Chains A and B, each alone.
Chain A
Amino acid sequence: MESFNRIFAIIEKEFYLSYNTALGYTFIVLFMFVESLLFFFGIGGNSFWDRKSSDLGFFFVITPYLLIIFVSAIGMKIWAEEKESGTWEILFTLPFNEWEVVLAKYIASCMNVLIALLSTIFIPFTVMIFGQPDLGIVFSGYLGVFLVAITFVSIVMYFSLFFQTQIGAFLFGFFALSVFYSPFVQKSIDFIGKTASDWIGIFSLQKHFEAFRLGILDPRDLYFYLSINIVFLSLTVIHLKDKR
């Protein structure tokens, strides 16, 4: 119970820190704006009006790429802000266990991601005005995007630990997520050979997201994302303990 209270204290603090200033709202509005701009007006001639189709396929293709930037921006604040302001020292002299701090900050960041994703909910509703999108695919797509996003959070959380400044944390977070999700990386792996590609593909975030995007809910994909999350959260806890 005490653990729960302490975790809740950090989540609440993180929430206030995000939304007491305009920065948190700016991130959300910017995410929503760019997302809707890309979906409705597209890149080149690939707009919603040109496609003349009431499906959200393109929305779920572009969202993970936007999340790379958005989650890197959220991630840069997780540790570097505490280090820059000196509150890092306070945080780890309060009676918290490392895993409590990591879990609380992870949940708080996931909540930010969830708010950002929920802010785009008007996109499927708009599509529903013009046609009848498959709601099953919309649901599984959103679930997949959320799983990708929280996995991004866990990855950024670990890598940003190594940086003292927010800009350093952002740039490396962006780089790390790009490597983990980039189609170019996937293509490079394919180039090595089929067997190697198949093996490495097991760990590809993008490959596992494809099923969700197509409306297929395979528990193996769910386990995959949860496992990656657990691995990176554990690495973060281990690193924090080790750094003391």
Chain B
Amino acid sequence: MSHELWRKNGSHEFFRKPFFIVGIYHLGIVSKSMEAVQLSKEFPGKLAVSNLNFTLKPGRLTALLGPNGAGKTTTMRLLTGFSRPSGGRVTIEGRDLSENRAEFQKQIGYLPESGPVYRDLTVLENLEFFARARCLSELNRSRSIFRVLEELNLGDVRNLVIGTLSKGFRQRVALASVLLSEPKYLILDEPSYGLDPTQMSQIRQLIQSLSKDRTVLISTHSLDEVEEICEHVLIMSKGTIVADSSVQSLRREDRLILEINDSGMNFEEFMKNNGWPNVFKIKNMEEGFVEYEVQLGDKKPEDIYLLVSRHQILLRGMRKLEESMKTIFNSITGN
């Protein structure tokens, strides 16, 4: 059929057909990612965020970190279409969000900071409103409401007025409202705010499982949360992105500390010649030993062991470089 179309109408018609679009979509040519391109937002007398460039990819849980006033909330508002950028653009699947904001917003679930909810509505009325607002069919509405009530353990309080519930419950209702329509893009500002440790752990697991087939960005002050569930980190300071990296490389988990007795040889040069360009001397130790930092890249620790033992270099110790997220965060943001 497609060949016939090609012959009959020429290539232009072929490219316009939906099956072609679907094809390249699955090949990953049309990305399902959300992208900020030179994004800026200026308020009277204040540049809130400036020249942000980053990509949020599906299947990857990204954390947005930064001290208060760094521009995290402004960035999230720009990504969700709540605010219009002063410069640059947000693209979703390669298309500008501002082209058809309301249409794109159907695919975006946004949980603002401290999970605001309609306190005078019951849990069910609240969910019903969100389901209708997102144009779910009547059958889908009931199914989705039932699903989120189950997922967030809200069944017992479904007929209670939200204002009478505890902070933790209110936060769960807010999250349930976001998850109702199973949006492809989830932007969550402090999703575990106000939850007790058990609920926090449940919500983290839920977010982690949701991120498998969705694009998820969470803003949080909990560095434990980032270490526990996030794969990628964006760190903001004074309205700009100062780090855009995987959690692993940010924590420098691919780095080892070696204690070598190099007997006066240039160990850095030696390693470089053997395919290890990123080796740095840290300090001299007692008994002629020297501490080196080695970046593994795609190699394994045993490769180093084999290399040094083949050249009869004395290796006393090898350990992973461990830096807490807190140390890294403080050093990057200058706190």
Which residues of A are interface residues toward B (Cβ below 8 A)? 2, 5-6, 8-10, 12-13, 16-17, 20-21, 85-87, 89-90, 92-97, 244
- B105 in contact with A93 (CB, 8 Å): yes
**B161 lies within 8 A of chain A by Cβ:** yes
Contact A12 B102 (CB under 8 A): no
- Contact (Cβ within 8 A) B121 A17: yes
Q: Which of A2, A86, A93 contacts B80 (CB 8 A)?
A: A93
Contact A13 B121 (CB under 8 A): yes
Is B120 touching A17 in the complex (CB atoms < 8 A)? Answer: yes
Please report the total number of B residues contacting A with Cβ < 8 Å: 32
Chain A CB within 8 A of B122 CB: yes
Does B133 sit at the interface, judged by CB under 8 A? yes
In Å, the complex CA distance between A6 and B106 comes to 12
- Of the candidates A8, A21, A89, A94, which one forms a contact with B130 in the assembled complex, judged by CB atoms under 8 Å apart? A94
CB-defined contacts of B110 to chain A, threshold 8 Å? 89-90, 93
Question: Contact between B117 and A20 (Cβ–Cβ < 8 Å)?
Answer: no
Asked if A17 and B132 make an inter-chain contact with CB atoms under 8 angstroms apart, the answer reads: no
Check A20–B121 contact: CB distance below 8 A: yes
Please name all residues of chain A whose beta carbon is closer than 8 Å to the beta carbon of B83 when the two chains form the complex: 244
How far, in Å, is A80 (CB) from chain B's closest CB? 14
Identify the closest chain A residue to B116 (Cβ).
A86
| Distance of B210 from chain A, by nearest CB (Å) | 18
Question: Contact at A20–B122, with CB atoms within 8 Å?
Answer: yes
Distance to closest chain A CB from B250 (angstroms): 29
Q: Are B132 and A95 in contact (CB under 8 A)?
A: no
B106 partner, pick from A16, A86, A92, A95, beta carbons under 8 A: A95
Q: Is B125 an interface residue (CB 8 A)?
A: yes
Closest chain B residue to A8, Cβ basis: B132
CB distance B106 to A20 under 8 Å? Answer: no
Query: With contacts A20-B120, A86-B116, A89-B112 known, is A12 near B132, CB below 8 A?
Result: yes
Whether B6 sits at the interface, judged by CB under 8 Å, is: no
CA distance A167 to B116 in the complex (A): 21
Chain B nearest CB: distance from A162 CB in Å? 15
Q: Please give the distance in Å from A19's CB to the nearest CB on chain B.
A: 9
Measured CA separation A16–B133 after assembly (Å) = 15
A95 touches B103 (CB 8 A): yes
> Contact: B105 with A89, CB < 8 Å?
no
Asked if A5 and B130 make an inter-chain contact with CB atoms under 8 angstroms apart, the answer reads no
Known contacts A9-B132, A20-B121, A20-B161: A93-B81 contact under CB 8 Å: yes
When distances are taken between beta carbons in the complex, the residues of chain A under 8 Å from B177 are 90
A13→B129 contact, CB < 8 A: yes
Contacts of A5 in B (CB 8 A): 132, 135
Contacts of B204 in A (CB 8 A): none
Query: Are A96 and B119 in contact (CB-based, < 8 A)?
Result: no
B241 touches A (CB below 8 Å)? no
Interface string of B69-80 (1 = CB under 8 A from A): 000000001001
